[in-house]
Amino acid sequence: MVSAQESEDQQALDSSIEALKKEVLSLNRDLFILEEDLLFPANTQFSIFLSLNAGSLFLLDSVQLKIDDKNIANHLYTDRELDALRRGGVQRLYIGNLASGKHEIVAIFTGIGPGGRDYRRGKSIIIDKTTEPQFVEFTIIDDITKEQPEFDARVWE
């Protein structure tokens, strides 16, 4: 049996937690923006994303990223991350600064392909970095007709 005092205390606690959550959300938003603006100014900002479209023909294990033949990131996937990607989530693999001009971005995907065989494929894209923030998205697609995974790359405007 909950006493009236306990119920009142509980309500006060609920309101305090709700107020705190709202303040923390606002703080997090402000600080994330500040961090990004400070560490990655708009004119040099460059990000790489990964998404899956279907993804039943390729079980992703890891991805390696290179810019102009220089290794910049490696990522090893957990089941939860893969599940999130399969269900439509988009992962930011990398954010950094890049000088204006042409650059080659290469992503090397490792995992299990059709027939349960080890599978390793690279996909590259040449981008022309401007003074605006630029985003590149790699997508792993199922090519049902060829029964093979396809790897796509595009620059977001």
Partner 1 sequence: MSGNREHIKGIFHDAGNRSRYLLAMLLLLTSSAVAAAQSLGEHRVEDLDYGRALYQFFQENELAAITRLLVAEKRPRSRPQIDEANLLLADLYYGYGLYNDSQRLFARLLNAEVSDSIQNRIWFNLARLNFDQGIYQDARELLSRINDQLPPALEAERKYLLTSLFLGNRQYAQADDLSSGMDDSSIWKTYARYNLAVAMIEDNRYQQGKYLLDQIGQLEAESAEQLALRDQANLSLGLKHLRLDQPRAALESLSRIRLEGPLSHDALLASGWAWYGLGEFDKALVPWRVLLRKNAVDAATQEAILAIPSNYASSGQYRLATRYYENAAEQFDAQLQLLDKAILSIQQGGLIVALRENTILYDRSSLQRLPPSSDVTPQLHLLLASAAFQQEIKRYQDLLDIRNSLRYWDNSFPALELMLRERRNAFQRKLPLLQQTTSFEKLEALTESRNQFAKKLDSIEFRGDYLALANPEEQEHLNRLDRVASGIEKVAKEKNTSYQKDMHRLLTGILHWNLETDYPARFWNAKKQLIGLNRALQESHQRAASLRRITEQTSFEFIHFEDRISGQQSRISSLRKRVSGLLKRQQQQINRLAIAAIQGQQEHIVQLRLNARFELAKLYDKLSQQQ
Residues in contact with partner 1 by CB under 8 A are 6, 10, 13-14, 16-18, 20-39, 49, 51, 53, 80-81, 83-92, 135, 137, 156-157
CB of 77 within 8 A of CB of 71? no
Angle at CA of residue 89, ends 91 and 42, nearest 5°: 45
Nearest distance from C-beta of residue 69 to partner 1, angstroms? 26
Which C-beta is closer to partner 1: that of 67 or that of 85?
85
Per DSSP bridges, beta strands 101-112 and 148-156 are unpaired
Closest separation in Å from C-beta 14 to partner 1: 8
Q: Which CB atom, from 49 or from 112, has the smaller least distance to partner 1?
A: 49
* Least Cβ distance, residue 117 to partner 1 (angstroms): 27
Closest CA to 56 of 77, 83, 91: 83
Q: Which helix (H) or strand (E) element contains residue 83?
A: helix 79-86
Choice between 38 and 99, CB closer to partner 1 = 38
Q: What distance in Å separates the CA atoms of residue 135 and residue 141, rounded to the nearest whole number?
A: 19
As measured in angstroms, the least distance from the Cβ of 142 to partner 1 is: 13
Least separation in angstroms between CB 143 and partner 1: 16
Nearer to partner 1, 58 or 77 (CB): 77
CA distance 153 to 135: 11
Q: Is the CB of residue 98 less than 8 Å from the CB of residue 63?
A: no
**Cβ contacts of 10 within 8 Å, gap of 6 or more:** 2
**Residue 15 or residue 71: which is nearer to partner 1 going by CB?**
15
